Structure 1
Amino acid sequence: RGPGGAPGGSWPEPLPWGGLLVLALLGGALLALRRWRLRAEKQRREPNPGGAGGKLYIDPLTYEDPEVALRDFAQEIDVTCVTIEEVIGAGEFGEVWRGRLSLPGQPEAEVAVKTLKGGRGERQRREFLREAARMAQFLHPNVLRLRGVVSAGSPAMIVTEFLMHGALDAFLRGREGTLSPLQLVAMLRGIAAGMRYLAEAGFVHRDLAARNILVDAHLVCKVSDFGLSRALDGDREVLGPGQGGKIPIRWTAPEAIAFRTFTSASDAWSYGIVMWEVLSFGERPYWDMSNQDVINAIEQDYRLPPPPRCPPALHRLMLQCWQRERHARPTFPHLVRALDRLIRHPQSLRR
Structure 2
Amino acid sequence: MVDNKSSVVTLTWQPPDNNGGRNDIAYWIDCPLCPPDTEFSPRQHDIPGLEVNVSRLESHTTYEFLVYAVNGVSEQSMATGVKQEHIVINATTFSSVPSAVREVSIDEESSSKTTLGLMWKVPMFPNGVITTYQIRYRTTVETVADSKYHYQNHQAHSEVQRTQVTGLQQGTDYVFSIAATTKAGVGEYSTPFVARTEGGPKNAPYGPAIIAGAVAAVFVIMVLVAVVIFLLICWRRRKANQLYLKIASCPNNGKKEMPPTANGMIYSNGPNGEAVILPHIGKARTYIDPFTYEDPVQAVREFATEIDASCIRILDVIGGGEFGDVCSGLMLMPDKSTRKVAVKTLKTGASDKDRADFLSEASIMGQFDDPNVIELLGVVTRTRPAMIVTEYMENRSLDTFLKENDGKFSVPQLISMMRGIASGMRYLSEMNFVHRDLAARNILVSSTLVCKVADFGLSRRKHEGAYETKGGKIPIRWTAPEAIAFKKFTSASDVWSYGIVMWEIMSYGERPYWNWPNQDVIRAVEKGYRLPPPMDCPEALHQLMLDCWQKDRNHRPTFSTIVSTLDRLTRNPHALRPLAKAGVNQMNNSFTDLTQLHSVTEWLDSIKMGRYKDTFSQAGYVRLEDIARLSQGDLPRLGVNLVGHQKKIMKSIHSIRSHLEQAEETLV
Amino acid at match of 1:252: T
Distance in 1, matches of 2:348 and 2:287, equals 30
User: Which residue of 168, 175, 179 corresponds with 2:398?
Assistant: 168
Is residue 2:385 matched to residue 1:155? yes
Distance 1:167 1:316, change over 3 A: same
2:312 touches 2:330 (CA, 8 Å); kept in 1? yes
CA deviation string 1:319-342 (max 9, x = no partner): 000000000000000000000001
Task: Tell me the SS of whatever aligns to 1:140.
Answer: coil
1:58 equivalent in structure 2:
288
Amino acid at match of 2:322: E
2:367 equivalent in structure 1:
137
Is residue 2:499 matched to residue 1:269? no
1:182-197 equivalent positions in 2, closer than 5 A: 182-197=412-427
Task: Tell me the SS of whatever aligns to 1:173.
Answer: helix
Amino acid at match of 2:531: L
Task: Tell me the SS of whatever aligns to 1:142.
Answer: coil
CA deviation string 1:54-102 (max 9, x = no partner): 4111010111111110011100000000000100000011000000000
* Structure 1 unaligned regions, length at least 5: 1-51, 231-241
How does the TM-score come out when normalised to structure 1? 0.80
User: Which residue of 497, 513, 517 corresponds with 1:286?
Assistant: 513
Distance in 2, matches of 1:138 and 1:223, equals 11
Is residue 2:484 matched to residue 1:257? yes
For CA contacts below 8 A with separation 6 or more, give which structure has more relative contact order.
1
User: Which residue of 437, 440, 443 corresponds with 1:213?
Assistant: 443
User: Which residue of 333, 358, 374 corresponds with 1:128?
Assistant: 358
Distance 1:106 1:54, change over 3 A: farther
For the aligned residue pairs, the C-alpha RMSD in angstroms reads: 1.6
2:436 touches 2:459 (CA, 8 Å); kept in 1? no
Amino acid at match of 1:222: K
What's the offset of the Cα at 1:107? 2.9
What's the offset of the Cα at 1:175? 2.1
Distance 1:313 1:157, change over 3 A: same
Distance in 1, matches of 2:297 and 2:307, equals 14
What's the offset of the Cα at 1:209? 0.1
1:77 equivalent in structure 2:
307
Is residue 2:473 matched to residue 1:246? yes
User: Which residue of 285, 290, 297 corresponds with 1:67?
Assistant: 297
Distance in 2, matches of 1:176 and 1:87, equals 25
User: Which residue of 519, 525, 528 corresponds with 1:301?
Assistant: 528
Distance in 2, matches of 1:154 and 1:133, equals 18
Task: Tell me the SS of whatever aligns to 1:266.
Answer: helix
> Sequence identity of aligned pairs in percent?
61
Distance 1:64 1:253, change over 3 A: same
Distance 1:254 1:106, change over 3 A: farther
* Structure 2 unaligned regions, length at least 5: 1-281, 461-468, 580-668
What's the offset of the Cα at 1:261? 1.4
Is residue 2:566 matched to residue 1:339? yes
2:304 touches 2:379 (CA, 8 Å); kept in 1? yes
What's the offset of the Cα at 1:346? 1.6
Amino acid at match of 1:153: T
2:342 touches 2:392 (CA, 8 Å); kept in 1? yes
Distance 1:200 1:53, change over 3 A: farther
2:429 touches 2:491 (CA, 8 Å); kept in 1? yes
1:243 touches 1:259 (CA, 8 Å); kept in 2? no
Task: Tell me the SS of whatever aligns to 1:159.
Answer: strand
Distance in 2, matches of 1:226 and 1:112, equals 15
1:34-49 equivalent positions in 2, closer than 5 A: none
Amino acid at match of 1:157: M
Amino acid at match of 1:258: A
Distance in 1, matches of 2:473 and 2:524, equals 20
What's the offset of the Cα at 1:177? 2.6
2:543 equivalent in structure 1:
316
1:5 equivalent in structure 2:
none
Distance in 2, matches of 1:171 and 1:103, equals 29
Amino acid at match of 2:355: R
Distance in 2, matches of 1:181 and 1:342, equals 11
User: Which residue of 299, 323, 348 corresponds with 1:93?
Assistant: 323
Distance in 2, matches of 1:181 and 1:92, equals 34
1:19 equivalent in structure 2:
none
* Greater strand proportion: 2
Is residue 2:198 matched to residue 1:198? no
What's the offset of the Cα at 1:153? 1.6
1:53 touches 1:200 (CA, 8 Å); kept in 2? no
Distance 1:229 1:259, change over 3 A: same
CA deviation string 1:271-328 (max 9, x = no partner): 0000000000000000000000000000100000000000000000000000000000
Task: Tell me the SS of whatever aligns to 1:222.
Answer: strand
What's the offset of the Cα at 1:53? 7.1
Where in structure 1 do 4 or more consecutive aligned residues deviate above 6 Å?
A: none
CA deviation string 1:226-250 (max 9, x = no partner): 11179xxxxxxxxxxx983210000
Distance 1:68 1:172, change over 3 A: same
What's the offset of the Cα at 1:134? 0.2
Distance in 1, matches of 2:292 and 2:404, equals 43
Task: Tell me the SS of whatever aligns to 2:318.
Answer: strand
What's the offset of the Cα at 1:106? 5.4
1:13 equivalent in structure 2:
none
Distance 1:243 1:163, change over 3 A: closer
Distance in 1, matches of 2:389 and 2:470, equals 33
Is residue 2:346 matched to residue 1:116? yes
Distance in 1, matches of 2:343 and 2:505, equals 27
2:398 touches 2:445 (CA, 8 Å); kept in 1? yes
Aligned residue-pair number: 289
Largest Rg, 1 or 2: 2
User: Which residue of 320, 325, 343 corresponds with 2:552?
Assistant: 325
